[in-house]
Amino acid sequence: MRLQRYWLLMMLVAFSQRSYAELLFLDVYINRWNSGVQLMVEQQQDQLLLDAQPLRQLLPNLPIATGDRVDINNLPLQDYRYDSSTQRLYLTIEEQYLPLQRIRQQIQRQQQIPYSQADAVWLNYDAVADKSLNSSDYLTGLNLDFNSYWQGWQFNHQHILRYSDSDGYSNVRLNTTLQFDDNERTESWLVGDFVTRSPSWARSYRVAGISWGKQYALRPDLVTHPLPNFSGSAAVPSTTDLFINGLQRASSDFVPGPFSIETQPFISGAGVATLVSTDMFGRTTQIEQPFYVSRTLLADGLTDYNFSLGYLRDGFTESGSNYQPNPVLNASYRYGVNNMTTLGSYLESDHQYANIGIEWQQLLGRWGEIAIAYRQGLGNSDGHTGTISYEYISRRFSVGVRHSQRNASFDDVLSAREGTMLPEQTSQANLTYNWQRYGAASIAYIRQRGSRFGDNELYTASYSYAPSRDWAFFISASKDVSNGAYAISLNISVQLDSQNNLTVTQNSDTGDSSYQRYRYSHGNDNYRGWRYSVSQTTGLMHNQTQGLVNWQGDNFQAYLGGSGQADDYRLYSGVRGGVIGIAGDTWLTRPVSQSFALVSSDSAAMPVYLSNHLVGETNEDGQLLVPELVANLPNKVSIDPLGLPADHVITDTEKWVRPAGMTGVHIHFDVEQIQPALLAVRLDTGETLPISSIVGNAEQQTISGWQGLVYLAQQPQQSQLAVELPDGRRCLIDLSQVSQFSQVQANEVTCHLVKRSRP
């Protein structure tokens, strides 16, 4: 009997305790930061059992035992507090358990601009003529650069035609290439004439063949070098500003815990980052972090490679198609092991000679970078060569040293084919110091041993000073130790105003080439117009006078000049331009440098701007060819609509385009002609329609202005307009009373009040 009473009492106690368990939904605050997470909590007397799964997602670094519930007393918290009045749970946690916040500062435009292209053909031409006034000697020439773009494939052919009375007619083909660029994969395929892409410690050469490789130039917005990482921590919610060399670069809000900011500082070399954090209480802390940016290293995980196979070219610019009989293989590969180390390899081979090479580039923290390369000959060339270099760049000074050495039995493919000898030793060193307001100075040293030109040793020094935008000063000196020759040059440039410039040059050396030159030039800020320059040179064996006049128009560039000294007077002239076929039309334009755009606006004489600079006006067909776009980068093309008639509207006045390589794009600005209507509305009571009345129908809606004026963008097709007055009254406008709408003078109409129905 007593045992039954005992068990009954125990059950009542357990039921009583269980009945006091309470289920709560609490807002979680971590180190005074509102996490935005609402956590389910079971309260049993003084015990809090937390829902484990949401807590693991919120704090992944916090050690939480397995299970659906976790006792708050079993967590490694510095402190916690439950506020029953606000239903909040305050947790204080050590930094090691808080998640790392990573911020990558965007360096591209916020809205990614897609690539654009249009099938087109274009020809750049440069016609020149040179005639002596004292003899029958003359020269004429025509440089042609033909391009076509179709479905991603680009064809290029460059040719020179020349004729002179002494040498006669010559016809030289420079390059012929067919290229395909994959902008998304940043890869290029090329067939034809090209220059091999060798690393800096190997030589490049012209070949005709096939090439495939990585081409990061297709995506200039991509950052391929390692970005510095600036880190800190926040005890409470804070705002952190990042300054690079004193200039603000980024600003971000951080919750409690460690953080890192990865950004592009837009400098090369050494710098100082300053993190200024302001917490929720207004307290400020400042941390300085030195860093070093190397643009030659590859970021972690990136690769750069190129493979080419072709025939060496002889007599470039002298003959059209002379190639050596045996092909040459050239391949290179680089890999960013991490943000501190980049490794590379190189292979060069033909039917007799071959060599392989390896490269190691290492970032030395904040103290610059070092690079070591080694090449070993194979086959008939069993020698070796090595290169070591060091570079450090900062705002104040920069230093660079480089040394290469080879043994006598090493030859690369080019020297073996040409029968020339590479230098046995090459040493270079340079030092630059920047006084900022007081100019910059630099010195350099170059030495070669065992080259085909003998031993050479050269010292150079220079100093430049530009106290303002109006004038600049530059002096340089060089000394050739091998033959004792020296040269000193002094240059002073004065900007008289935005269009006029005066330059004075003094040059002295050990030979007979000492001279003084005075040059005046007049420019033109507009996209077209006249430019001219005159110069006088004294101190040579014969004084020389030169003059040059340039004209730049919408369709071509032309120049005419002359020079004279003693009994030798010459005239020279030239015309440069382009012919473009795009969208079924042919255009005469200025030379195309990279890419071009056909701008259509359906309105004549409309000003067109490229990057806020006036580049022309649309023709009578509402079109303009703009030949100065930059390839693979965003270009802003805009128009000025102020000259449009009052009955014309345009939805967009600027557009961003990114040409996919050297190609054309078609940009269309939609200009729409409208038939607006201007009404002067009075109520049938005689009073003017109150301001802010809502006027419209199913087609359009607008708001009335002062003196009852109502502007409708389009003349309404329906015969009635409904009006709602600010006081809630309604009225109707019968448009049948208007015989013809006027766009200048308001049409007077009456709005008839609608009687309210009685309830």
**Structural domain boundaries of the chain?**
2-99, 115-161+514-673, 227-293, 432-510, 677-753
Burial of 689 (0-12, 13-18, 19+ CB in 10 A): buried
- pLDDT category, 345, cuts 50, 70, 90? very high
- What are the Cα distances from residue 444, in Å, to 319, 490, 706? 38, 18, 75
Tokens 């209507």 found at: 677
2-99: what fold?
A: Ubiquitin-like (UB roll) (3.10.20)
Report pLDDT for 500. Answer: 92
Q: Are the C-beta atoms of residues 521 and 546 closer than 8 Å to each other?
A: no
- What are the Cα distances from residue 687, in Å, to 681, 682, 695, 756, 757? 9, 6, 16, 19, 23
- pLDDT category, 5, cuts 50, 70, 90? low
- Of 243, 242, 240, 274, the residue nearest 254 (C-alpha): 240
Residue 110 scores a pLDDT above 50? no
Strands 677-683 and 747-753: parallel
Q: Would you state the torsion angle of the CA atoms of residues 193, 195, 196, 200, taken in this order, to the nearest 10 degrees?
A: 180
| CB contact set of 681 (below 8 Å; sequence gap of 6+) | 688, 689, 695, 704, 708, 709, 710, 723, 733, 749, 750, 751
Average pLDDT over residues 530-552: 89
Average pLDDT over residues 256-285: 84
Q: Are the C-beta atoms of residues 580 and 589 closer than 8 Å to each other?
A: yes
- pLDDT category, 19, cuts 50, 70, 90? very low
Q: What is the pTM of this model?
A: 0.79
- Residue 306: count of CB within 10 angstroms of its CB: 19
Question: What stretches of 105-196 adopt beta strand conformation (E)?
Answer: 115-116, 120-132, 138-150, 153-164, 168-182, 187-195
User: How far, in Å, CA of 463 to CA of 483, rounded?
Assistant: 24
Residue 531 scores a pLDDT above 50? yes
- pLDDT category, 214, cuts 50, 70, 90? very high
- Write out the two tokens for 431: 């030092």
Q: Would you state the torsion angle of the CA atoms of residues 422, 423, 425, 428, taken in this order, to the nearest 10 degrees?
A: -110
- pLDDT category, 541, cuts 50, 70, 90? low
Confirm or reject CATH 1.10.3980.10 for domain 115-161+514-673, answering yes or no. no
- Write out the two tokens for 336: 């960013």
94-109 per-position pLDDT tens digit = 888 888 888 776 544 4
Indicate the SS3 state at residue 173. strand
User: How far, in Å, CA of 416 to CA of 312, rounded?
Assistant: 12
Would you put residue 235 in left (φ > 0), alpha (ψ -120 to 50) or beta? alpha
Give strand pairing partners of 287.
275
Distance of alpha carbon 426 from the chain centroid = 36
Q: Phi and psi dihedrals of 10, rounded to 5? A: -65, -40
User: How far, in Å, CA of 528 to CA of 526, rounded?
Assistant: 5
Residue with more model confidence, 415 or 367: 367
Amino acid at position 462, single letter: S
- What are the Cα distances from residue 697, in Å, to 396, 694, 724? 70, 10, 11
Residue with more model confidence, 605 or 344: 344
Tokens 């006081």 found at: 727
Indicate the SS3 state at residue 2. helix
Q: Phi and psi dihedrals of 618, rounded to 5? A: -65, 150
Q: Are the C-beta atoms of residues 128 and 572 closer than 8 Å to each other?
A: yes
Average pLDDT over residues 223-234: 85
Report pLDDT for 646. Answer: 73
Report pLDDT for 757. Answer: 64
User: How far, in Å, CA of 515 to CA of 535, rounded?
Assistant: 13
User: How far, in Å, CA of 635 to CA of 626, rounded?
Assistant: 12
Class of domain 677-753: mainly beta
Average pLDDT over residues 247-266: 81
Amino acid at position 1, single letter: M
- Of 677, 658, 652, the residue nearest 740 (C-alpha): 677
User: How far, in Å, CA of 375 to CA of 409, rounded?
Assistant: 12
- pLDDT category, 579, cuts 50, 70, 90? very high
Report pLDDT for 540. Answer: 66
Burial of 178 (0-12, 13-18, 19+ CB in 10 A): middle
Amino acid at position 142, single letter: L
Report pLDDT for 108. Answer: 47
Query: What one-character-per-residue DSSP string does 199-216 give?
Result: -TTS---EEEEEEEEE-G
Residue with more model confidence, 212 or 735: 212
Residue with more model confidence, 457 or 4: 457
Residue 172 scores a pLDDT above 50? yes
Residue with more model confidence, 524 or 219: 219
Residue with more model confidence, 646 or 225: 225
User: How far, in Å, CA of 532 to CA of 556, rounded?
Assistant: 17
Class of domain 227-293: mainly beta
466-483 per-position pLDDT tens digit = 988 889 999 999 999 888
Report pLDDT for 453. Answer: 65
- The reply to whether 677-753 shares the fold of 2-99 is no
Q: Are the C-beta atoms of residues 676 and 712 closer than 8 Å to each other?
A: yes
User: How far, in Å, CA of 20 to CA of 710, rounded?
Assistant: 70
Q: Provide the sign of the torsion angle of the four alpha carbons 163, 167, 168, 172, taken in this order.
A: negative
